[in-house]
Amino acid sequence: MVRVLSMMMLGAALLLSGCASHVDYGDAQARETVTTDFGSTDLQMIAAKMVDDMMVFPPVVKMTQNRRPVLFVDRIKNKTTEHIDTESITDTIQSKLINSGKFRFVDMSVVDRVRQQLDYQSQSGMVDPSTAAQMGRQIGAEFMLYGNLSSIVKRAGSTKDVYYKFTLKLLNIQTGIIEWSNEKEIRKTRKKSLFGL
């Protein structure tokens, strides 16, 4: 009886350990193909392609030869049916461009907080005037980065095809001229196997 009970306990322990969840770290740069939805690999491919192309475009090379132009990032319009954090794409592109040493950026999303800090420094009486940042000394952006992300989704039987197109443009704020533009296309296809496995 004791042997039977111990065997049952061992079996139960094995079963429970088999059901235990398992968490592990993976390579953040590895290919991700869990679903056809927009994913980390798409974001990384888009950012790499856009930055690489912009860096070698001859007018941009000439423009950044002796100076670091100031840019600001406008939003990327999400025209797909998915909820996609497009700011994450532009954040990656912005980081790569800054780290290249070719461009500088102004961040329009923190203007209010910067103004609060400037007001505090100049009006609160708490800050040594000789170290306080002066109003009206910020540098104006020369170019604007903006774009679109669109998709075409098609289904036929057990096959789903998703086509993404990301467009990015660099506009000269003074002249209104688009100085550079490029696209990245991504196609993802999902086919369900016979038994849905």
Partner 1 sequence: MKIVRPAMALCVALLLAACSASNMGRMEVDDQGQPVTKVYSSNSLLASRLSVEHLQQKTVGNLLYMQATLENGWKFELDFQYKIKWFDKDGFELAPEGQPWRQLVMAGRSQNNVQAVAPNPSAVRFEIWVRE
In sequence order, what are the residues at sequence separation of 6 or more whose Cβ sits closer than 8 angstroms to the Cβ of residue 114?
A: none
Q: How far is the CB of 33 from partner 1 (least distance, A)?
A: 9
Closest to partner 1 by CB, 99 or 138: 99
**Residues in contact with partner 1, shown as a per-residue x/- string from 64 to 83 under the rule CB under 8 A:** xx------------------
Write the DSSP assignment of 23-87 as a string of letters.
Answer: -----TTS---SSSS--HHHHHHHHHHHHHHHHH-HHHHHHTSS---EEEEEEEEE-SSS---HH
Task: State which residue, 44 or 172, has the beta carbon closest to partner 1.
Answer: 44
- From the list 16-24, 40-48, 134-142, 157-165, the region that binds partner 1 by CB under 8 A is 40-48
Residues touching partner 1: how many (CB under 8 A)?
A: 20
Q: Does 96 bind partner 1 (CB under 8 A)?
A: yes
Among 11, 13, 37, 52, binds partner 1 (CB under 8 A): 52
Part in contact with partner 1 (CB under 8 A); list of ranges 37-45, 127-135, 167-175, 177-185:
37-45
Residue (40 or 121) nearer to partner 1, CB: 40
Q: How far apart are CA 15 and CA 19, in angstroms?
A: 6
Cβ contacts of 177-186, under 8 Å, gap ≥ 24: 179/59, 179/60, 179/63, 179/143, 180/54, 180/57, 180/59, 180/60, 182/49, 182/50, 182/53, 182/54, 184/45, 184/46, 184/49, 184/50, 186/42, 186/45, 186/46
Judged by CB under 8 A, the residue of 99, 150, 158, 159 near partner 1 is: 99
Candidates 184, 187, 114, 178; CA nearest to 146 is: 178
Per-residue interface string for the shown chain with partner 1, residues 155-184, x marking contact by CB under 8 A = ------------------------------
Tell the smallest beta-carbon distance from residue 160 to partner 1 (Å): 18
Q: Which residues bind partner 1 (CB under 8 A)?
A: 28-31, 41, 44-45, 48, 51-52, 55-56, 61, 64-65, 96, 99-102
